[in-house]
Amino acid sequence: MKIAIASGKGGTGKTTLATNLAVLCSSGSRDKPTVLSDLDVEEPNSGLFLKGETLHQQKIMKEIPGWIRDKCTFCNRCKEVCNFNAIAVLPDSVLVFPELCHSCYACVGLCPEDALVMKDHPIGELSHYKVNQLDFIEGKLNIGEQQAVPLISKTIDYTKENFPDNSIFLYDSPPGTSCPMIESVKEADYVILVAEPTPFGLHDLNLSVKTMHKVGKAFGVVINRHGLGNDDIEQFCRKERVRILGRIPNMPEIAEKYSRGELIIEIPEIRREMLNILTKTEEITGRWICRENHKTS
């Protein structure tokens, strides 16, 4: 079961929801791993709330063309075929801009002199931590790198290769509705969109709802900081027939805990609401997610 936690707008509470749900899901579940992957690789912050032991760390590479001066005839072919303007052919050198390269191989494959060959270029780092029963995977993009998608994709690959298919996978997605967000939700069985009841929150929820329809994903909405602003979001969800999975209240205690890097499920009322969110998600998807929910039933 793969659940992506996403939002159109940044700062609406994706990480808060993802980390708290992940800890709830993992507690008591020894037979079925719970894995949280922080795919917001440009600014991963789930790690601020989850302190654990490091199990594994590795550099993540992408392939970029390397130029072989002796073979080059400066024919300009590589520059012409590059769809991303990542190559400049100058009178006595060829420059490759790794940040713009999409590793498509066009220049390497079409160079008549074999003067370009693919080589590894580091783009970021992947870390795997164990936080009690929870496996927490974090992708972190190197400063200056412009493309998040290759790192997101490789972080997901690592997750899939290292855990059985029946695990509970939670993805903390990057904000927005562009390529990084699409990459992080594309394999999810279900998407939880987090929205806040503000004009920006509504505007960006609208964009993410449209995106979900376009990519054909089942999804529901969690309203964070509920009680703030007006009920436009509730009306929007009713009109668009979007299921509201839960409402996290706008409470000073939450802000206090957050600012100290603590989990908000320590507040009993929030823990209940988080469990409700998981129950509703289980009902909709027909899949078992959280043992905690089945303890008393």
DSSP state of 264: G
DSSP state of 115: -
Residue 143 CB, shortest distance to another protein, in Å, is 13
Residue 90 CB, shortest distance to another protein, in Å, is 5
Q: Which is nearer to another protein, 100 or 207 (CB)?
A: 100
Q: Which is nearer to another protein, 1 or 87 (CB)?
A: 87
Residue range at the interface with another protein (CB under 8 A); choices 54-62, 96-104, 107-115, 156-164: 96-104
Distances in whole angstroms, Cα of residue 58 to Cα of each of 61, 98, 243:
10, 20, 39
- Tokens for 50? 């989850």
Q: Is residue 247 within 8 Å of 17, Cβ to Cβ?
A: no
Binder to another protein among 85, 259, 296, 297 (CB under 8 A)? 85
CB atoms under 10 Å from CB of 84, counted, come to: 13
Q: Does 95 bind another protein (CB under 8 A)?
A: yes
Q: Is residue 19 within 8 Å of 129, Cβ to Cβ?
A: no
Binder to another protein among 84, 132, 228, 243 (CB under 8 A)? 84
Residue range at the interface with another protein (CB under 8 A); choices 82-90, 104-112, 159-167, 198-206: 82-90
**What is the number of residues in the chain?**
297
Q: Does 91 bind another protein (CB under 8 A)?
A: yes
Rounded to 10°, the helix 268-285/14-26 angle is 80
Q: Does 104 bind another protein (CB under 8 A)?
A: no
Amino acid occupying residue 43: E
Binder to another protein among 78, 86, 107, 237 (CB under 8 A)? 86
d(CA 121, CA 98): 8
Q: Does 143 bind another protein (CB under 8 A)?
A: no
d(CA 127, CA 86): 29
DSSP state of 265: G
Q: Does 89 bind another protein (CB under 8 A)?
A: yes
Q: Does 97 bind another protein (CB under 8 A)?
A: yes
Contact string (CB under 8 A) for another protein, positions 24-63, x = contact: ----------------------------------------
Residue 99 CB, shortest distance to another protein, in Å, is 8
Q: Does 79 bind another protein (CB under 8 A)?
A: yes
By CB under 8 A, the count of residues binding another protein is: 14
Q: Which is nearer to another protein, 97 or 200 (CB)?
A: 97
Q: Which is nearer to another protein, 25 or 149 (CB)?
A: 149
Q: Is residue 113 within 8 Å of 102, Cβ to Cβ?
A: no
| Maximum C-alpha span of the chain | 75
DSSP state of 181: H
Q: Does 93 bind another protein (CB under 8 A)?
A: yes
Rounded to 10°, the helix 232-240/199-215 angle is 20
d(CA 168, CA 2): 6
Q: Does 75 bind another protein (CB under 8 A)?
A: no
Residue range at the interface with another protein (CB under 8 A); choices 33-41, 94-102, 106-114, 192-200: 94-102
CB atoms under 10 Å from CB of 160, counted, come to: 16
Binding site residues, another protein, CB under 8 A: 79, 84-86, 88-93, 95, 97, 99-100
